[in-house]
DNA sequence: CGGGGTGTTGACGCATGTCAAGTATGGTGG
DNA sequence: CCACCATACTTGACATGCGTCAACACCCCG
């Protein structure tokens, strides 16, 4: 009894942006600037938005599919996944998210999010009012273009996942997923010398790859035996990225990461 | 010897918009108006664009992955599929397209398309210069929003396909695919009393569902035996849409079709 | 007529799923 | 500091959906 967490998305502890950690605006600007030019006026517009911060615990629901959200979320810290449910209870994770990722940008123009979002492990979320964000997108065409481009990259990601799930076997599928994670984490400074925190449980990996959890387990053991990927608890290590990329048939073009490199 | 079709996308017969059939502008407006309000100024801006028309034959390449396109395409007639290739030659179709669909909108803001597009059966494509389209999107915020929304729906589609391929068995997967086709074809007036033209070969269905062609064949026979779907040559018939939707666990919300219904 | 693209069928194998039990692990309260 | 519990991970035996291979039949189109 009592209200279940599931009944109310974003019920975690809330606080306004006064903290010392980077807030919504800083992270949003940093992310968008990796692919779109943003002038000082645009940056100021972001900074002027009123943001809220929420702490969530493991397996907390952040956004609920089909339920219109008045706020637009960005992951400040931790990991999250967007997922869709089937009537029989099976779950497909359609994207994994790391610090700096927008979580529900599609809901800016569509009536309701088409997938739920929940946390893997404890996480921190920042949000701004949907209308506020829509307003500055209307006032600053460069911001609209940047956000649009961000959603296009998100879509490209989904298409790559389709290729991954539809055509690759379990071994390559997981290798590919971890190649993507490594690169995206590196882009936000969370990939440290081949290792990174990774609180997604094997059940979560199973939901993301369309495999069963026990098969995920066995394949992870093979990857470890082959020296490609060491996953222990919440810690991942990739001794040889090139080898892992080869095993996963990984080509990072679809991520559209900073082309300055 | 001679140049292969594959070497040059969009090499089909070309003609300017003088024909009596609906052109780029009419179709684009009709499509966008199903989800976004467009004033007369916006409609006029579309109508003023210089469009080209191309006829392509079966299995023709229309857009090539990774190759920047100076033109933005829309399918006027026939069927097409967007697909990505793997090194070993296996192919994943990431979306199917019917008359009235945009084929490479993501390339408007991204440097190059992340998937190829080719025709299933003979088809007709209309295109406008990418820069022209970008220009009117910049001049008319409502057009930009409409196009953005269109790409968001495209992305929602990809996520639904992820769910389909990742979690459903072959039987439900194909049922779901045909439910989607039926609804989208109906939206453009090509679904006639439970039947429609469908020139996608079983190999194409296999590439779209992540199944092998022979398994697709067997499952189609089961669907036919169960009275859910009759596929013969280029002709599809759905005697009982409700039953097919039940078999596929189909919920049309993700298509974001005209909410006036 | 001929031949490429198709659809169909059967025999067989394997990647992956399922079921079930057992072992860590880690946070929490006594 | 320990007992406890939920969550996570691991393992083995077994089942099966789907893939593979290899023919063969079909058609439309040229």
Instruction: Please tell me what DSSP assigns to residue B257.
Output: -
Nearest CA in chain B to A163: B92
User: Given an 8 Å threshold on Cβ–Cβ distance, is A159 in contact with B87?
Assistant: no
Tokens of A91: 């779950």
Question: Which residues 2-61 of chain B have a CB within 8 Å of chain A?
Answer: none
The structure tokens 């009275």 sit at B227
Minimum mean pLDDT among A114-118, A184-188, B254-258: which range? Answer: B254-258
Q: What value does the mean pLDDT of chain A take?
A: 92
Does residue B17 carry a pLDDT above 50?
Answer: no
Cβ–Cβ of A158/B153 closer than 8 Å? no
Q: What is the mean pLDDT of chain B?
A: 92
- State the DSSP H helix or E strand holding residue B102, giving kind and residue range, or none if neither: none
- Is residue A51 within 8 A of residue A126, CB to CB? The reply is yes
Contact across the interface for B159 and A158, Cβ inside 8 Å: yes
Q: Judge whether residue A260 has pLDDT over 70.
A: no
The answer, for A165 touching chain B at a CB cutoff of 8 Å, is yes
Better pLDDT: A19 or B145:
B145
pLDDT at position B163 over 70: yes
Six-digit token string for B36: 């976004």
Spell out the alpha helix ranges (H) of B60-169.
130-139, 141-167
Whether residues B162 and A165 touch (CB distance < 8 A) is answered with yes
Summarised one tens digit per residue, pLDDT across range B129-159 is 999 999 999 999 999 999 999 999 999 999 9
DSSP state of A85: E
Name the burial class of residue B186, with classes exposed (0-12), middle (13-18) and buried (19+) by CB atoms within 10 angstroms of its CB: middle
Q: To the nearest 10°, the Cα dihedral for B31, B36, B40, B46?
A: -50
Residue numbers in B near A156 (CB within 8 A): 106, 110, 114
Please give the torsion angle defined by the CA atoms of residues B127, B131, B133 and B136, in that order, rounded to the nearest 10 degrees: -150
- A7-16 mean pLDDT: 51
Report the residue of chain B nearest A172, measured CA to CA: B86
Q: How far is the CA of B214 from the C1' of C15 (A)?
A: 17
Write out pLDDT tens, residues A189-212. 999 899 999 999 999 999 999 999
Count Cα atoms within 13 angstroms, Cβ side, for A200: 27
Distance CA B30 to C1' D26 in A? 41
């Amino acid at each position: 009894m009592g209200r279940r967490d599931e009944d109310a998305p974003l019920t975690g502890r809330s606080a306004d942006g006064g903290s010392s950690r980077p807030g919504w605006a800083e992270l949003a600007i940093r992310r968008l600037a990796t692919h779109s030019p943003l002038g000082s006026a645009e940056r100021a517009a972001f900074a002027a938005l009123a943001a809220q911060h929420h702490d969530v615990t493991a397996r907390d629901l952040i956004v609920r599919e089909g339920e219109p959200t008045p706020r637009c979320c960005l992951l400040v810290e931790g990991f999250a996944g967007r997922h869709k449910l089937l009537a029989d209870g099976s779950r497909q994770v359609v994207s994994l998210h790391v610090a700096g990722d927008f979580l529900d940008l599609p809901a800016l123009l569509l009536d309701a999010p088409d997938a739920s979002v929940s946390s893997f492990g404890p996480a921190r979320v920042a949000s701004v009012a949907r209308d506020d964000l829509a307003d500055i997108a209307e006032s600053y065409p460069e911001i609209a273009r940047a956000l649009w481009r961000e959603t296009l990259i998100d879509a490209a990601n989904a298409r790559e996942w389709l290729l991954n799930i539809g055509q690759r076997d379990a071994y390559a599928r997981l290798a590919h997923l971890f190649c993507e994670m490594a690169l995206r984490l590196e882009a936000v400074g969370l990939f440290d010398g081949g290792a990174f925190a990774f609180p997604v449980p094997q059940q979560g990996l199973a939901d993301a790859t369309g495999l069963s959890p026990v098969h995920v387990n066995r394949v992870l053991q093979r990857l470890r035996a082959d020296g490609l990927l060491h996953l222990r608890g919440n810690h991942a290590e990739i001794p040889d990225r090139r080898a892992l990329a080869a095993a996963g048939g990984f080509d990072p073009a679809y991520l559209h990461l900073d082309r300055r490199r």
